[in-house]
Amino acid sequence: MLEFLQSAEEAARRGGNVLRAWSSKFTVREKSRSNLVTEADFASQQAIHEFLRGRYPHHGFHGEEGLDEVRPDSPYRWVVDPLDGTTNYVHGFPYFAVSIGLEFEGKLVVGAIFDPSRDEMFLAARGCGATVNRRPLHRSDVPELSQAMVVASLPVATSPDDMAVKRFLRMLPHAQTVQRTGSAALNLAYVAAGRLDGFWSTSLKPWDMAAGIVLVEEAGGKVTQLDGGPFQLAEPNLLATNGSNIHQELITHLA
Ligand code: IPD
Ligand code: CA
Ligand code: CA
């Protein structure tokens, strides 16, 4: 497992270096309304793919920017977001990351999230704990929602009628503060690091969540669906918290 973790780390760092190299020279395209992509997204994915393909030619690969390699004979699949938080990246708002998760027989076992702006490498492997820049990570001890900083990911092009927006507004009087930050992967890393106490979304893709799930669980946090049911990577339904009473409080207010 540790070999895979080192590979995830190296791949995430290579992706992050590509994002640094492209900053302020990229051009922006809209995949759909408000859903941005740049050369940096593709170049980061290419660097990550080349590295992992070189080491593990038989593993599956599932990358956001149209790079899907299905390997039915391998129990391993890399799930990669080469730039999570593209809108932030485009605006120079330094809250974006590379996210690399590894599945073994459909279970998430390794996660690496690299924030090139703060030079922070978040790593976790199943049963081995979680770290940031080699220091152990631990979820927060905040016991109640009224003392909590929580965060939501909303759909990219949303509207006041959207259920996700209504849920977000409903939470405002219950938490100490409710944020929307623009990088689901970093939100999960921050729940693992105890910098956020809870995070939810109903509009994420596997590559937004894969690495962060391992981080939150290995840092002592809890991950379920919004109604408390078992989390499933293929479904865009995620509630991640420090595992305190906050988890149940969020279920009550969000479901
Ligand atoms: C986005 C971010 C954002 C979330 C969006 C995602 P991208 O990822 O994670 O926080 O609200 O749903 O699409 O497009 O920047 O990789
Ligand atoms: Ca993403
Ligand atoms: Ca992305």
Q: Which atom of ligand 1 is nearest to the CA of 154?
A: 11
The residue-averaged pLDDT of 196-212 equals 98
Cβ neighbours for 224, distance < 8 A, ≥ 6 positions apart: 230, 231, 239, 247, 251
Question: Torsions phi, psi of 70, nearest 5?
Answer: -90, 130
**Atom number in ligand 1 closest to CA 84:** 16
Tell me which residue has tokens 């190299």.
21
The answer to whether the CB of 186 is under 6 A from ligand 1 is no
CA of 36 to the centre of ligand 3 (A): 9
The structure tokens listed for 186 are 């970093």
**Cβ contacts of residue 37 below 8 Å, gap of 6+?**
28, 29, 30, 31, 65, 86
Q: What ligand 1 atom has the least distance to the C-alpha of 181? A: 10
Asked whether residue 156 carries a pLDDT value surpassing 90, the answer given is: no
Note the pLDDT tens digit of each residue in 40-98.
999 999 999 999 999 999 999 999 999 999 999 999 999 999 999 999 999 999 999 99
Q: How far is the CA of 69 from the centre of ligand 1 (A)?
A: 22
Distance, CA 174 to ligand 3 centroid (Å)? 31
Ligand 1 touching residue 99 (CB < 6 A)? no
The residue to mutate among 32, 44, 89, 156, having the most atoms of ligand 1 within 8 angstroms of its beta carbon, is 156
CA-nearest residue for atom 11, ligand 1, is: 153
Write the pLDDT tens digit of every residue in 8-52. 999 999 999 999 999 989 889 998 888 889 999 999 999 999 999
What is the pTM assigned to this prediction? 0.97
Q: Name the DSSP class of 180.
A: -
pLDDT of residue 250 exceeding 90: yes
Please state the atom number of ligand 1 nearest to the C-alpha of residue 64: 16
